[in-house]
Amino acid sequence: GKIILGDQLLERSDVLIDLEDRGYQFGDGVYEVIRVYGGKLFTMKEHIDRLFQSAKKIKLDISMSPEQIQDLVESLLKENGVNFGSVYMQVTRGAAPRNHKFPLPASNTKAVFTAYTNEVPRPQSQLENGVEAITAEDIRWLRCDIKSLNLLPNVLAKQEAADSGCFEAILHRNGIVTEGSSSNAYIVKNNEVMTHPADNLILNGITRQVLATLCKDNSIPFVEKEFEVHDLLHADEVFITSTTSEVMPVIKLDGRAVGNGVPGEITRKLQSLFEAKINQETKV
Ligand code: PLP
């Protein structure tokens, strides 16, 4: 399929990324993943908005408009004929002789925007049966609100989970549960949904924001409040959310059953509300 480099659709094999691209050398850039359902982009505007917010927080000038990116991504999707899958997009601070400092304006270094598509089925059986997770220490930096390319701590946590045969690592900092290595984390206790506040210690997931609205509209208490690892391990229900994992039940934590060891009632309710939201947005 085709990919985007800058404002052009190109063959992937025709694209060259410079050895000194700052994304490659420093992780100096930001990214987004958008889900595609039946050929339609889900919450595209929100993802493109967040890309610009992340870029701004690292003083990166994307030098394209959100509308331009939207048009490019839509044409890429059409060109590649993606049905169920995702679009990955990233922006780096560009290629310049290696130096930690930003390239000088006079050097005319331009941000490098790239995007490509993937065909990925929805994780049906995991959504149905739930997944297992481990708990792990959150060793990331203090600006987890930025969707930056620096994912080494996330990679290490996810691998630790995989090594234990688990789907996700739910992270904690000073005993407080923050989020998953590539997801937001929630507990249900006494019919209340609780998740870490959207501050600098977590990424405010687009799925999280959709869920907050769905809860509000359906009179399900959605509480943004810190909770401890102990609360996680003794919750009635646990689930995680992300663009690719949707609303994913967690049925075992560190090898022990969560609640009854099956996806809980509130989690099921949120899954069906989320499903309706997908249909509403992408089947018009
Ligand atoms: N938290 C982290 C660290 C993530 O990497 C992700 C997504 O990959 C999320 C949360 C969930 O965000 P979203 O729902 O926007 O995909």
Cβ contact 185:240 at 8 Å: yes
- Hey, how many other C-beta atoms are within 10 angstroms of the C-beta on 18? 14
If asked whether residues 170 and 203 sit together in one domain, one would say: yes
- Residue tagged active-site, from 57, 147, 216, 252: 147
If asked whether residues 266 and 157 sit together in one domain, one would say: yes
pLDDT per residue as tens digits for the range 191-236: 999 999 999 999 999 999 999 999 999 999 999 999 999 999 999 9
If asked whether residues 112 and 135 sit together in one domain, one would say: no
Domain region containing 183: 124-282
If asked whether residues 153 and 61 sit together in one domain, one would say: no
Domain total for the chain?
Answer: 2
If asked whether residues 69 and 160 sit together in one domain, one would say: no
Query: CATH number of the domain that 179 lies in?
Result: 3.20.10.10
Asked whether 203 lines ligand 1 (CB < 6 A), one says yes
Asked whether 48 lines ligand 1 (CB < 6 A), one says no
> In angstroms, what is the span from residue 172 Cα to ligand 1's centroid?
16
Q: What is the mean pLDDT of residues 49-73?
A: 98
Backbone angles phi, psi at 124, to 5 degrees: -55, -50
- Which value does ipTM take for this structure? 0.99
Exposed/middle/buried for residue 172 (C-beta within 10 Å: 0-12, 13-18, 19+) = buried
> In angstroms, what is the span from residue 217 Cα to ligand 1's centroid?
23
Asked whether 173 lines ligand 1 (CB < 6 A), one says no
pLDDT per residue as tens digits for the range 28-44: 999 999 999 999 999 99
If asked whether residues 95 and 207 sit together in one domain, one would say: no
If asked whether residues 221 and 175 sit together in one domain, one would say: yes
Domain boundary residue among 75, 100, 119? 119
Q: Does 283 score more than 90 pLDDT?
A: no
Query: For this structure, is 252 an active site residue?
Result: no
If asked whether residues 106 and 184 sit together in one domain, one would say: no
The best mutation among 88, 148, 172, 203 to test binding of ligand 1, ranked by most ligand atoms within 8 Å of the C-beta, falls on 203
Displacement of CA 121 from its chain's centroid (Å): 17
Q: Which two tokens stand for residue 139?
A: 């060793």
Percent of the chain at pLDDT > 90 equals 99
Query: CATH number of the domain that 98 lies in?
Result: 3.30.470.10
Non-local CB neighbours of 145 within 8 Å, separated by 6+ positions: 57, 198, 199, 200, 201, 202, 203, 204
Q: If you take atom 5 of ligand 1, which residue's CA is the nearest one?
A: 182
If asked whether residues 75 and 165 sit together in one domain, one would say: no
Q: How far apart are CA 84 and CA 82, in angstroms?
A: 6
Cβ contact 239:231 at 8 Å: no
Q: How far apart are CA 142 and CA 253, in angstroms?
A: 25
What does the angle CA 157 – CA 184 – CA 71 come to, to the nearest 5 degrees?
105
Q: How far apart are CA 219 and CA 27, in angstroms?
A: 41
If asked whether residues 27 and 136 sit together in one domain, one would say: no
> In angstroms, what is the span from residue 107 Cα to ligand 1's centroid?
34
If asked whether residues 115 and 128 sit together in one domain, one would say: no
Domain boundary residue among 92, 119, 146? 119
Q: What mean pLDDT, rounded, does the chain reach?
A: 98
Displacement of CA 256 from its chain's centroid (Å): 26
> b/e string for 23-51 if b means 16 or more Cβ within 10 A?
bbbbebbbbbbbbbbeebbbbbebbbebb
Element (H, E) at 61: none
If asked whether residues 243 and 188 sit together in one domain, one would say: yes
Sorting pLDDT into bands at 50, 70 and 90, what band is 284?
A: low
Domain boundary residue among 88, 119, 150? 119
DSSP 222-273: EEE---BHHHHHT-SEEEEEETTTEEEEEEEETTEESTTSS--HHHHHHHHH
Q: What is the mean pLDDT of residues 265-271?
A: 98
